[in-house]
Structure 1
Amino acid sequence: IEIQVLADKHGNCVYLHERECSIQRRNQKVIEEAPSPFLDAATRKAMGEQACALAKAVGYTSAGTVEFIVDGQKNFYFLEMNTRLQVEHPVTELITGVDLVEQMIRVAGGEPLPFAQDDLTINGWAIESRLYAEDPYRNFLPSIGRLTRYRPPVEAATATGVVRNDTGVYEGGEISMYYDPMIAKLCTWAPTRAEAIEGMRNALDTFEVEGIGHNLPFCSAVMDHPRFVEGAMTTAFIAEEFPDGFSGVTLTEGRLRKVAACAAAMNRVAEIRRTRISGRLGNHERHVGDDWVVAIQGEEIAVRIAADRDGATVHFADGAAHRVTSDWTPGQSLARLEVDGEPVVLKVDKIPAGQRIRTRGADLKVYLRTPRQAELARLMPEKLPPDTSKFLLCPMPGLIVKISVEEGQEVQEGQALATVEAMKMENILRAEKKGVVRKINAAAGASLRVDDVIMEFE
């Protein structure tokens, strides 16, 4: 938990309350919020006063951040002071209404602070998600490439909600291996924490990033995690809740049904459009059936679609139904729908015989088939991935810093084989099992792409 301070050259120092920064990975913050759901008013006051005392003791001026470790009994211990503006400063600005950058400039110009401690109150709740060019499905390894699509949510500010996105990238720009992987800071504000979380969920749903691996799905997963929603975080949150890494979200049955209904309704729209292509079937429109099987998240869900001018009612075999309405048209990558009157946002891409749908941290291949097609699809053999166990593949684009073994050398499980540097981090690649190095294909100083073969084993 960190305390934001502002100090001028006239002996004045104030604290602008705290930021909760417990959700970290590799000592890098991922989610921040202000205020902290853990602190009470007395602890907040004590921490703030200690932070100001420290700043005054060293004659500090400008904005600064005093970081503390806080235990379960609310005892707090000084960790360090960052004598600069923090990445997560927007959440403090959103709950206090103070422009920290402006105040830094005014203090540097010799002006006194225009407010006292009693003027600084907490208004509402703010959350920040750091968007990193890191692939959560590959153990958060750095990802580089061109941003073929970069469409942040629309920034807005009202009395009931704020969406803010601080970024320095653009669609068509390139993410290189030479800089920090953070490419945007998405922030939401609302009168309550629950509303700020819901605002962040919706903002993440509408944030489109293509061309690189990124952690948007992981941030979405955190927003829906019961422990985060409860506010029961520690610095071990990611290690404890995702011990085997992140492999996507498994949707609940209720959410899965809604996505299946949306996919069926959108597929019907796409099928009707395909029947109207000029010259197909002698210009006679092909009838689009009402019965479909939705294959999603390892399940097959039989549905019957009853469509009308305003939308479609999707009926399930057990008698349940969802009403889906939308103005989505095939080719749109973002589908804004309503299911039973509730808004749903899906990222949609066409794949053979279906759609790739991403929502709330889940990345789904959804297949839409007629009952006969579904019957035949069950007979198809499963395609297995290629065996790469005899190769050390480069897991990310990066620079080979060191090759730690030689050809002909026997290696043991867990032994360091090579070191790859990317985005300010060195990554040590280790042997997955015992073996003998047959051939080394790369040397220190070489720049490699993802899946380039570094070495081969016998």
Structure 2
Amino acid sequence: MFKKILVANRGEIACRVMRTAKKMGIATVAVYSDADARAPHVLMADESVRLGPAPAAESYLKAELILLVAKDTGADCIHPGYGFLSERESFARACAEAGIAFVGPPPTAIAAMGDKIESKKLAKAAGVNVVPGFLGEIADTDHAVRIAGEIGYPVMMKASAGGGGKGMRLAYSEQDVRDGFEATKREGLASFGDDRVFIEKFIETPRHIEIQLIGDQHGNILYLNERECSIQRRHQKVVEEAPSPFVTPEMRRKMGEQAVALARAVGYYSAGTVELIVSGADPTGDSFYFLEMNTRLQVEHPVTEAITGLDLVELMIRVAAGEALPLTQDEVPVLGWAIENRVYAEDPYRGFLPSTGRLVRYRVPTPLPRAGRAGGGAISVMDWDAGAEGPPLTPPASGRGEDEPYIRVDDGVAEGGEVSMFYDPMIAKLVTWAPTRDGAADLAVTALDQFELEGVGNNIDFLSALMQHPRFRSGNLTTGFIAEEFPDGFTGADTSEAMIRKLAAVAAVLDMETAWRNASISDKLDDRFIPREDRAVLIGEKRYDVSIDGYDRGLLVNLDPQESPLDVVTGWKPGQRKFVATIDGEPLSVGVKRTRTGWRLNAHGRSHVVRTLSVRAADLSTHMIAKVPPDLSKFLLCPMPGMLSALHVAEGDTVEPGQPLATVEAMKMENILRAERPGVVGKIHFAPGESMAVDAAILDFV
């Protein structure tokens, strides 16, 4: 077995690999850029070495530097994680030439599967179903238009070396191809150093399902069931689960056997994933097609670990050391259900624009009590390293009860750290396991409510809304789910009348507890200032006149004389950002922020502005004049922190609706900003190549 492993990556995946390495007694080496000098993965490692400046091209993508660090520190193997150098055949080959084990597949397999054009040819030869498309070289935009017309719209344009949702454009018409082909080439070149593009038929009502593989150097290859990854935005996965609610045992066997056949055809070993596009319109499940093979560990590997009880990182390390797999295909189980939610630094209320900045506050979920049993557990990778054992990576093998819910948080950030514009905006992965799919989704909603994340925009509300959505619960998923269900953007999850009543009770208790706290401060206030009369709680259009009575177990909050009061048990203290309580026997965690006239309460995927007033003040509030927001329509505002990569207009130009105005690059993605109405361009405030803050005025209109 190896003595020392260098993790050629950053963030949560670097922490994840180190966690298993420590469990196996293997020393760890971290590498880092200037932006990550105090990052958790650096603190977690036994040794750490600086690579260079923040841009990945000058640090994490410097293969020769990483190999030099491995030699200097005495590391006898390198785990690449995912992204960066994980699927670069030249890096795997350089490791072999340097006598350092590469924890991944052989270079020949990476080369065969890394080129999406060649991999489809190999898949077809191995008897794997492939999507109709054009796999040759595309000369230019006109050539791309001809090919798309021959295949038939809609088509998907993809960077040959792409992945992670980058370098992909969906085209429904010739104009879409003309608008997107060159952008696809540029993204492929910027992210992967390869501007080749291929075009294939876009499958209608598509589901994205993938098969996890593991193979050893002795010829054994297993498929470890499937994952459903259909909940995507801009081709970037948001929610993954295992198993799939669509896949039958027979379908799983067919997909798995084709995936194994492809892996065997290229001499594959280590962990890898065969991604398939499946037509949800075919009830037989036989319409599945090869998309690509990822020759690395996937972001969503924890859900496979949760339903199989296998540590995939440990298996990768053991395979790299020459060991045989410890199980056969018949011994691969499907235990319960697991769902992974990716917590991103992006603002769903502003069109999911990336957010950067400092994590002013960061707390992972903790168990909530439930009647009659424990509520599972949660652990951050960093918490584990600090000595808190928590649930292991593979819950079914942990000795816990088979029906005990389980929470796992994989992260690589810490409070006070910074979310940089140079890297992927993912903050953490929340994995929930339960015996049933509904149980795993319910636990995810509970856990998302408990996250405390301040300083950057985040998608926690959106994830909670997804987990509660009736269509998600039904399992009727496609890769167009988000676009179809949120066509006008996201404004918050739907909130039931029962939840509104609970939040009104929470606001009343918060008001009372704060008043008592203020009255107890020496020489400031006394109980003469505690409101004696009933209070009015206003949430949106609803108003509740509230009274509170104490009793031996908690508080009785009466919102309506015609209904039973709510039983609230809590230990909340003024200043705490989470109100954790049991209301009528059900646990609830509510995010709390003080406002001038009440509270901002966040729960179950929606933020609510709640006002707590005296009954008299509430009566008078209906006469207040609404404040009119300023008119910003004459400005083109930068929707996210980023760099102005191109200007498509000049001062004095007349523009029409839909016309491109500027292109902003952020998180390695190009975003084209278009005119919303006719107008004339006035002053331009930025030049291409300049960095801009969110809401910076790029130009204004006359």
TM-score by length of 2: 0.64
Q: Is the 8 A contact 1:134 1:141 kept in 2?
A: yes
Q: Which residue of 2 aligns with 1:305?
A: 548
SS in 2 for 1:172: coil
Q: Distance in 2 between matches of 1:89 and 1:166?
A: 11
Which of 642, 647, 656 pairs up with 1:412? 656
Structure 1 or 2: larger strand share?
Answer: 1
Match of 2:464 among 220, 225, 238: 220
Aligned partners of 1:333 and 1:379: how far apart in 2? 32
| Superposed CA offset, 1:319-369 (max 9, x none) | 112111100011100111111111111011111111111101111111101
C-alpha spacing 1:302/1:402, structure 2 compared with 1 (3 Å): same
Q: What is the alpha-carbon distance in structure 2 between the residues aligned to residue 166 and residue 339 of structure 1?
A: 30
Contact 2:638 2:695 in 1 (8 A): yes
Pick aligned residue for 1:119 from 331, 340, 345: 331
For the Cα contact (< 8 Å) 1:276–1:285, is it kept in 2? no
Query: 2:425 & 2:643 partners in 1: Cα distance?
Result: 15
User: Aligned to 1:258, what secondary structure does the other structure show?
Assistant: helix
Q: In the alignment, which of 343, 348, 373 is matched to residue 131 of structure 1? A: 343
Q: How many residues get paired?
A: 457
Which residue identity is paired with 2:277? I
Judge conservation of contact 1:3–1:18 (CA < 8 Å) in 2: yes
TM-score (norm 1): 0.97
Specify the alignment match of 1:208 in structure 2: 452
- CA distance in 1: counterparts of 2:521 and 2:239, whole angstroms: 47
Could you say if the C-alpha distance between residues 228 and 19 of structure 1 is closer, same or farther in structure 2, counting changes exceeding 3 Å? same
Partners in 2 of 1:348 and 1:91 — Cα distance?
Answer: 31
Separation of aligned partners in 1, 2:339 and 2:527: 54
Report the more deviating stretch, 293-302 or 364-373. 293-302
1:369 matched to which residue of 2? Answer: 613
Residue of structure 1 in register with 2:483 after alignment:
239
Aligned-pair CA distance for 1:98? 0.8
Q: Which segment is superposed worse, 107-116 or 432-441?
A: 107-116
**2:685 & 2:552 partners in 1: Cα distance?**
62
User: Is the CA contact (8 Å cut-off) linking 1:296 and 1:364 kept in structure 2?
Assistant: yes
Structure 2: tracts of 5 or more residues without a match: 1-208, 366-377, 380-389, 392-399
1:287, 1:94 → 2: CA distance?
A: 51
Identity of aligned residues (%): 55
How far off its partner does 1:182 sit?
Answer: 1.1
1:12 has 2:223 as partner: no
CA distance in 2, matches of 1:330, 1:377: 26
Distance in 2 separating the partners of 1:419 and 1:147 = 28
SS in 2 for 1:285: helix
- Equivalent residues in 2 for 1:154-169 (5 A)? 154-155=378-379, 156-157=390-391, 158-159=400-401, 160-169=404-413
Cα displacement (A) at 1:284: 5.4
Question: Which aligned pairs between 1:51-200 and structure 2 lie closer than 5 A?
Answer: 51-72=259-280, 73=283, 74-75=285-286, 76-153=288-365, 154-155=378-379, 156-157=390-391, 158-159=400-401, 160-200=404-444
Q: Does the Cα contact within 8 Å between 1:126 and 1:189 map onto a contact in 2? A: yes
Question: In terms of mean alpha carbon deviation, does 341-350 or 377-386 score higher?
Answer: 377-386
Residue 558 of structure 2: aligned partner: 315
Q: Secondary structure at the residue paired with 1:331? A: coil
The 10-residue stretch of structure 1 (23-32 or 261-270) with the greater mean CA deviation from structure 2: 261-270
Q: Give the Cα separation in 2 of the matches to 1:16 and 1:250.
A: 36
Once residues 123 and 454 of structure 1 are traced to their aligned partners in structure 2, the CA distance between those partners, rounded to angstroms, is 53
RMSD over aligned CA atoms reads 1.3
Between stretches 258-267 and 219-228, larger displacement belongs to 258-267
Relative contact order, higher structure (CA 8 A, sep 6+): 1
More moved, 409-418 vs 315-324: 315-324
What is aligned with 1:329? 573
C-alpha distance in structure 2 between counterparts of 1:417 and 1:194, whole Å: 45
8 Å contact kept, 2:657–2:676: yes
Contact 1:390 1:456 in 2 (8 A): yes
Q: Partners of 1:40 and 1:205 in 2: how far apart?
A: 33
